[in-house]
């Protein structure tokens, strides 16, 4: 039971946060006259020694160290004596301690992830700007649809990641609220200054209901929701690149550092980095779903079930952080094959250009769409690409298809015509880059 109950094997990760919270709490109890000046000084000095032991991997865990809180308090009492060390916990509960520790740790981890995600978006923007001239097929239903710029594809995912960046910033705000000073569930009886403790620990504010504060794991669940959403996005991004790096496509080639060879077939180069990104999305989803099931039936305030929020959170943060760094590495080192992308364009992808051509001559779009469909059908019947149809054959379909209709068969022209905001023309792509810079705060 002691082993089953213990959390120190993983919550020891919060040693610095637990000590920071304990010092803030001791300072507040000094200001309340619970501790004398000398007692507080001893506790602060002792806790800093404990912190140093953890940092230098010298902390000796004892059999009764159930969690990081009891371990730190036990060691403090050994250093300063039980008479002083025993006063540290006055008016305080482990319920508020773990909630405080988790929020302090998670706040800094999410700020680190924010920087990593910022770099991923920036990497995509830099490639989009540098490779803006490259054309490729755009797909719907995994079927060739219309020509687009490679940059447009890059920015489609960068935009998606930027939405996650904005959501992450909102999550950080809600994580950064202090439960310290709420006791086990009913509050603190010694008129403790919760605002002062929150300010010392860098919190933006307080959680104002003590029963809610000690039992709330919304901040964990919301983090797992956010991480699952992001991993879903990175999984779709990875899926595209897996397809594009295949021999059949050959649009991109991954750097050797982010791919592996086959144990049997020496000619193969597997996109293992991307496949792992896609696979780890399932891990992230599972952690979110698992915590949801754990929390949904709990009665009010703290229950030991909430211990199950810690390990999934720790692993989730590592999974998401590692994944962003791998994705950035893949994107910054892959090489593209513009010739393969261009060769993959097909004249049939310009069918809509014929309809648009007719629209500019006053033909209703539905009628123009029907006529462009007849052009595609004729090319299929003749067994030739659409650009091999003669002017006479085109005029035979509809007399309004004049000699200048051949302009519709220019891929670059087709792409540049999509110049409304959000489009794939050079000007529209550059506008997207500018907007993303503003989101990142680099404008």
Read out DSSP for 47-79? Answer: HHHHHHHHHTT-----TT--SHHHHHHHHHHHH
What pLDDT does residue 265 have? 67
Q: Cα separation of 399 and 153, whole Å?
A: 37
> What is the mean pLDDT of each successive set of 10 residues along the chain, which is 443 residues long?
93 98 98 97 98 98 95 98 96 97 98 98 98 98 96 98 98 98 97 98 97 96 98 98 96 94 68 97 98 95 96 98 98 98 94 87 89 87 85 85 87 96 98 97 71
- Beta pairing partners, 253: 335
Where in the chain are all domains bearing CATH 1.10.40.30? 347-409
Overall pTM > 0.75: yes
Distances, alpha carbon 380 to alpha carbons 215, 346, 366, 388, 398, in Å: 66, 13, 21, 11, 17
**Is 89 labeled as catalytic in the residue annotation?**
no
- Per 3-state DSSP, what percentage of the chain is helix, strand, and coil (rounded to 5)? 65, 5, 25
- CA-CA distance, 115 to 117, in Å (whole number)? 5
Determine the topology of domain 347-409 in CATH: Ribonucleotide Reductase Protein R1; domain 1 (1.10.40)
For this structure, is 152 an active site residue?
A: no
- Pairing mode, strands 177-178 and 205-206: parallel
Kindly calculate the radius of gyration of the chain based on its CA atoms and give it in whole angstroms. 30
DSSP 345: -
Q: Which helix (H) or strand (E) holds 28?
A: helix 15-31
Instruction: For the chain, give every residue range classified as CATH 1.20.200.10.
Output: 94-343
Under DSSP, the state recorded for 423 is S
Q: Of these residues, 246, 262, 390, 427, which one is catalytic? A: 262
Q: Where in the chain is the domain with CATH 1.10.275.10?
A: 2-85
CATH 1.20.200.10 fits 94-343, yes or no: yes
CATH of region 2-85, choose from 3.30.365.10, 3.40.630.10, 1.10.275.10, 3.40.50.720:
1.10.275.10
- Residue 24 CA to its chain's centroid (Å): 32
Q: H-type helices in 201-337, by residue range?
A: 210-215, 218-244, 272-295, 310-333
Helix (H) or strand (E) holding 159, with range, is: helix 150-175
* Annotated catalytic residue, options 141, 263, 399, 421: 141
CA–CA dist 109, 103 (Å, integer): 10
pLDDT at 403: 85
Exposure string for 290-304, b = 16+ CB within 10 A, e = fewer: ebeebbeeeeebbee
Tracing tokens 């964990």 back to the chain, one arrives at 220
């Amino acid at each position: 039971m002691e082993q089953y109950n213990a959390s120190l094997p993983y919550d020891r990760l919060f040693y610095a946060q637990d000590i920071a919270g304990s010092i803030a709490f001791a300072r507040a109890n000094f200001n309340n006259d619970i501790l004398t000046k000398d007692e507080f000084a001893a506790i602060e000095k002792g806790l800093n020694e404990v912190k140093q032991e953890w940092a230098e991997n010298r902390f000796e865990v004892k059999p009764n160290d159930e969690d990081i809180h009891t371990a730190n308090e036990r060691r403090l009492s050994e250093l300063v004596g039980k008479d002083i060390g025993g006063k540290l916990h006055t008016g305080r509960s482990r319920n508020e301690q773990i909630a405080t520790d988790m929020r302090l740790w998670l706040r800094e981890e999410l700020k680190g992830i924010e920087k990593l995600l910022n770099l991923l978006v920036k990497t995509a923007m830099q490639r989009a700007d540098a490779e803006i001239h490259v054309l490729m097929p755009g797909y719907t239903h995994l079927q060739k649809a219309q020509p687009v710029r490679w940059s447009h594809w890059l920015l489609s995912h960068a935009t998606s990641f930027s939405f996650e960046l904005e959501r992450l910033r909102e999550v950080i705000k809600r994580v950064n609220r202090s439960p310290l000073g709420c006791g086990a569930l009913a509050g603190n009886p010694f008129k403790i200054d919760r605002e002062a403790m929150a300010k010392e620990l860098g919190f933006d504010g307080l959680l104002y209901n003590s029963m809610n504060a000690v039992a709330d794991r919304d901040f964990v669940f919301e983090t797992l929701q956010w991480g699952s959403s992001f991993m879903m996005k990175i999984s779709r991004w990875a899926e595209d690149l897996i397809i594009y790096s295949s021999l059949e496509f050959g649009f991109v080639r991954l750097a050797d550092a982010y791919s592996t060879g086959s144990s049997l077939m020496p000619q193969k180069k597997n996109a293992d980095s991307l496949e792992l990104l896609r696979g780890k999305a399932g891990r992230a989803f599972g952690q979110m779903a698992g915590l949801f099931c754990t929390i949904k039936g709990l009665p009010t305030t703290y229950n030991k079930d909430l211990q199950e929020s810690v390990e999934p959170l720790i692993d989730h943060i590592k999974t998401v952080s590692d994944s962003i760094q791998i994705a950035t590495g893949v994107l910054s080192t892959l090489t593209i094959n513009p010739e393969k992308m261009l060769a993959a364009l097909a004249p049939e992808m310009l069918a809509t250009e014929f309809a648009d051509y007719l629209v500019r001559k006053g033909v209703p779009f539905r009628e123009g769409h029907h006529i462009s469909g007849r052009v595609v059908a004729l090319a299929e019947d003749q067994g030739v690409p659409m650009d091999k149809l003669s002017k006479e054959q085109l005029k035979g379909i509809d007399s309004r298809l004049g000699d200048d209709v051949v302009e519709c068969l220019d891929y670059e022209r087709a792409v540049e015509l999509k110049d409304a905001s959000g489009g794939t023309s050079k000007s529209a792509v550059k506008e997207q880059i500018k907007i993303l810079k503003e989101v990142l705060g680099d404008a």
